[in-house]
Structure 1
């Protein structure tokens, strides 16, 4: 935690609070956005939690693919919940203050879940490859023990990387200004407020991005390269279409997630990009966690059938 110090001829007081500028400075626009974002958040919670419960209740969905999907839903709930509730409350405030500790905690949880999701999406791509490329060995390779280890690895990797990033960033000295040009604690904007040399932290972020984000994307691309080769070997058109359909939902989720993240972090800063970043941040923090379960549910016959079975059982018990 930063403390007071002397510098030159003036007092340098450490920052204990940050000011979030929020989504917009227009008060009326903020109030009109509240019901929209509240609805999105509630749908996100309901759909992801419902998907987790459905997968747990229906034995037909007790497979590695749906196990990973339930973990993805859990991560999405934690990810959006680390930011959305505070953002919704801030829509009613003229001055959006967040303490140094609360900002560090918010960033840590969001970063942990975001990086765990990167690793999990790579794990799911490998699962798709084994299901399509080695169907006869699938149950042997993707044994429950391995699935749990892969999930633990994804969550553990996200935890360690987020902890390293958070400690290194928030150990820097902050003496002012303290205005964050966003509605949540974004690490690139926080670093720009530091009075310390950010070089070491920038290198840490770069290494983490290479290992986690680009590493996960590379594994996904490799998996889909092998999947494509396996699909081309399938002689029947129906079989090829079924194999492609199995991957379509995952590909859509991967494209949305990585496309938005790279769009935010891989362009130069400017006033225009700050506004663009806010829009993209809303999309990947608030909208994508809602879209993920919808993408998987609406295109998946197994989930639809499982939902019907659960509804029938529930109706029978109520009679």
Structure 2
């Protein structure tokens, strides 16, 4: 298996699961500096201790290196999780997103087609739903009004995957992730930034005056969903070569409640600053999981209380914070 973005949050956890299941895993990552590289290096170190893991450093824009990788390792299944992440940063630096998320995706999917990959699973995002007023978000909803550059790049990935599936009979599965969180999570995501700020007595910003809601999805549930969809891919018929699934918890939570849970786990109060909604943000995300449940007979089960507790336990251990 090839896992792009293997040093990233979801990529690391999924690669580790695949290794425990006995797969040979080729990891591909450019280790960029969008956030602290130390966290990426620490994740990568845990993977490289397994002899079944092979790491190749490179970017998706390097088509020659990608072709060499496919020629050398001949992966049968590709899990594509590498991307330039972040909704707000995509407004500031759109070119980085076009290069990584569109050009890079085209390079990868072309390699999948040329080298006869059996199944491509690729990361999309709940952000493709834009300002959708229909709740919960369903994979049959129209998604032609993205409100951030990041969302537009992810929707383009879905369209290219469908096209390659149609033209070249490439089996592809799109994964619309809904606010994934948990141990080893990204430092720019809400739980990590809130915990940092609370411990440093710094104010935290609650956008939309604290009324934002997110369908938080615990990382173990995400990995289980990916793994089952990967296994199911072998059973797909020609009529279902391209599928898209929401990977969420089907249970939106107000951001202010997340802060309360973190305060409880840290035994420390937050200094809250209420601010207007930011450009590119949506007020609420909410995943309809009907197609996912039908496909793999599974839906995420980790409660937000349990998930936040696991994250803070890891956070304290990783940063050597004593109770």
TM-score normalised by L of structure 1: 0.26
Please identify which structure carries the higher helix content. Answer: 1
Larger radius of gyration: 1
The structure with the largest strand share of the pair is 2
**What TM-score do you get using the length of structure 2 for normalisation?**
0.26
Higher relative contact order (CA closer than 8 Å, sequence separation 6+): 1
